[in-house]
Amino acid sequence: MANFETVEVTTDLLIVGGGMAACGAAVEAAYWAKKSGLKVTLVDKAAVDRSGAVAMGLSAINQYVGLKDGQNSMKDYVDYVRNDLMGITREDLVFNIARHVDSSVHLFEKWGLPIWKDAEGNYVHEGRWQLMINGESYKVIVAEAAKNALGMENIYERIFIVGPIMDGDRCVGAVGFSVREDKFYVFKAKSVLVAMGGAVHVFKPRSSGEGLGRAWYPPWNSGSSAYFTLKAGAEMTCQEVRFIPVRFKDAYGPVGAWFLLFKSRATNGLGEAYMQTRAGELENWKPYGKVKPVPANLRNWLMMLDVNEGKGPIFMRTDEAINKIAESEGDEKAAKKKLRELESEAWEDFLDMTISQAILWAATNTAPEQKPSEIAAAEPYFIGSHSGASGAWVSGPKDMAPEEYFWGYDNMSTINGLFCAGDASGASSHKFSSGSHAEGRIAAKAAIRFVLDHPEDVNVDTAAIKEIKAEILKPLDIYAEFSGKTVTPDVNPNYILPKMFMFRLQKIMDEYAGGVSTAFTTSNTLLERGLELLSFLREDAAHLAAADLHDLMRCWENVHRMWQAEAHVRTLLFRDETRWPGYYFRSDKPVMDNENWLAFANCKYDPDTGDWEMIKRPVVHIYNEL
Ligand code: SFD
Ligand code: AMP
């Protein structure tokens, strides 16, 4: 067996992940822990300064409620999120994040994040809830505060966490390995906060060949949160809700600034604006088809109807939008100046968060003020934010949660001591970077309270850990034993390499679970067949092989993706309707069934029996008048 030293770390609260939610958790936990003399430890697979979705930076903060300025009310935000998710949302969780999010944004500004201001010193809004930022160093700034709060001695970087440690029905830690040294890590904790982001590359991406690896969301977020919580036996929610963003084609540049700030139109290859020409289709998805803004999936859907009829490509009319704003300046000189300003803002929007889109513009001689750019629906992603919703089913806040949604501690999953935030927690969409940070703070405060309420030492079964260690390192052993038996090590009947494993997973999901190649369409029969093929993939996971530590990480990333995939397919099957056309379409159940399915489709894996349980939970409103 691979000879790895075992390193044990004992702590009170373990924060798993180092992204936006984890950094928020670190700041808050440090504050409450200090008061009680508790220890807080954070572990990230990468380096906190540039890890997670915000690694490259962002050009906007997409959740700012502006409560103090009286711009909006809490109810406005809850209405917005519920409508965007076609009625399926945990209003108590959305409320809880929204009431705290502005303070996270104010902290970012205090820590040095440049937020755009107008001549009067007010924030420049991209849209009603979105603020423009100079965000290239956003993550570095947020990470610095987390590092200062915890101290580097309590932060473990470049440790890939594989799964949970359980003590009966309580989560008491996590296991993983260093991606730089031959070391196996055992973190023992009284409470664990999972914030390992969402899942990318579960579906076959549009990017292939020379573009392979390019995705909208970061490829290094590989479903570890979902795997961790599923394997702990936690109830999961909205596993059927994949998010499909519309993006500038091939490099995935964001569209929000174009639609909201520059007020651009998108048109098909014939110059028709699908939001107008297809407006009649919205009648079929009432009441959500008639709300403003039109839900993200329905915006996608109207566009897809054009594409499926061969009316593509779809263009973002950047040229038209920029020139219209410039011309409204009045005289020619002012218009010219405005045009230059807008041009530079357009480039900055990409340079701040999707640099490859700026490179693609440069490579294809695209001047946004002169010619339009193609946009397209991307492949599906699993995230608990934006207009996605997948994640763990967590307890709501005591003052706002209906009794069906409350079991003691904010953001605790159905497993004792296991807390979730950011993309790891479900049914609380539209939290984005700022809301994830705020949710991390909420969860961390509750997790510290859990530690204070449960101060007893936790029990970790050493024999079980030994077995887990052997299982985690097994791909190295398989490679060492068999790689010499063929002329070239990447063709070998004794094992499967992680990349090939990932390709197979993506092909199954693409063809059977409604990926790009099937125009996001699936059916009962396709899903049943997909599930069968996934079961063979699960068998082959036992034969994954890794030549080195990097590949060992790749092996486990892909196992994590596979579990996210299975939870998705099972829940697509369970929800017997089409609720989110534009994200997926069930050809055998082509309509929305509000009578039976205005409900959460939850699922739970039983680690003892290996059985899956599907559970329907009610949607309960927090405002009586809704
Ligand atoms: O426009 C392990 N997001 C945007 N949010 C905004 O507020 N404004 C925007 O403009 C945004 N846009 C955007 C966004 C993201 C991306 C990639 C692009 C554009 C191109 C969304 C936010 O970034 C997102 O909501 C939050 O970052 C989510 O926070 P969190 O904490 O749930 O996830 P994370 O930040 O990705 O961090 C994950 C961490 O987990 C680590 N990790 N650690 C140990 N072991 C493992 N096995 C692990 N697996 C993962 C990661 O390293 C990371 O530290 S726009 O397009 O919408
Ligand atoms: P995106 O760049 O697509 O991630 O969008 C950034 C923000 O703008 C998110 O809050 C989106 O929900 C919002 N948004 C993008 N496009 C539109 C649109 N056409 N109508 C309303 N909101 C939008």
Mean pLDDT for the chain overall? 97
Token reading at 280: 């009649």
What percent of the chain clears pLDDT 70, i.e. is strictly above it? 100
Looking from the CA of residue 21, the nearest atom of ligand 1 is: 31
C-beta 352 within 6 A of ligand 1:
no
Residue spans in the chain of domains classed CATH 1.20.58.100:
471-590
Instruction: Cite the residue boundaries of each domain of the chain with CATH code 3.50.50.60.
Output: 5-242+381-453
Q: Which of 62, 187, 216, 441 has the most ligand 1 atoms within 8 A of CB, as the residue to mutate?
A: 62
| Ligand 2 shell residues, CB under 6 Å | 62, 127, 130, 245, 254-256, 259-260, 293, 296, 299
Establish whether residue 557 lines the binding site of ligand 1, counting it when its CB lies within 6 angstroms of any ligand atom: no
Cβ within 8 Å of residue 385, ≥6 positions away = 198, 422, 423, 429, 430, 431, 432, 435, 436
On the question of pLDDT at 36 being above 90, the answer is yes
Its CATH class, for the domain covering 5-242+381-453, is alpha beta
CATH 3.90.700.10 placement within the chain: 249-377
45 and 189 Cβ atoms separated by less than 8 Å: no
Report the candidate in 618, 598, 217, 235 with the shortest Cα–Cα distance to residue 432: 217
* Residue 214: C-alpha distances to residues 217, 321, 347, 497 (Å): 9, 28, 19, 21
pLDDT interval class at 599 (50, 70, 90): very high
The length of the chain is 626
Decide: 387 in ligand 1 pocket, CB within 6 A: no
Separation between Cα atoms, residue 419 and residue 176, nearest integer Å: 18
Class of domain 249-377: alpha beta
What value does the mean pLDDT take over residues 88-106? 98
Q: Which atom of ligand 2 is nearest to the CA of 246?
A: 3
* 123-129 average pLDDT score: 96
Give per-residue pLDDT as tens, 481-519: 999 999 999 999 999 999 999 999 999 999 999 999 999
Question: Contact 129/76 with Cβ under 8 angstroms?
Answer: no
Active site residues: 62, 126, 216, 247, 349, 386, 433
Which listed ligand is nearest to 127 at the C-alpha? 2
**Res 519: pLDDT:** 98
Class in CATH terms, 471-590: mainly alpha
pLDDT tens digits for range 389-408: 999 999 999 999 999 999 99
Nearest ligand, measured from the Cα of 217: 1
Work out the angle between the directed axes of helices 498-512 and 524-541 (0-180°, nearest 10).
170
Q: Is 142 in the pocket of ligand 1 (CB under 6 A)?
A: no
Q: What is the DSSP string of 519-537?
A: TTEE-HHHHHHHHHHHHHH
Are 478 and 545 in contact by the 8 Å Cβ rule? The answer is: yes
Residue 626's pLDDT band (cuts 50, 70, 90): very low
Residue 625 pLDDT > 60: no
Protein residue whose Cα sits closest to atom 35 of ligand 1? 19
Closest CA to 89 of 279, 288, 232: 288
Q: What's the burial of 349, exposed, middle or buried (CB within 10 Å: 0-12/13-18/19+)?
A: buried
Residue 90 contacts residue 405 (beta carbons within 8 Å): yes
Collapsing DSSP states into helix, strand and coil, what is residue 320?
helix
Per-residue pLDDT, 358: 97
- What does each C-alpha distance from 179 to 154, 241, 473, 550 come to in angstroms? 18, 32, 12, 6
Rounded distance between C-alpha atoms, residue 390 and residue 221, angstroms:
14
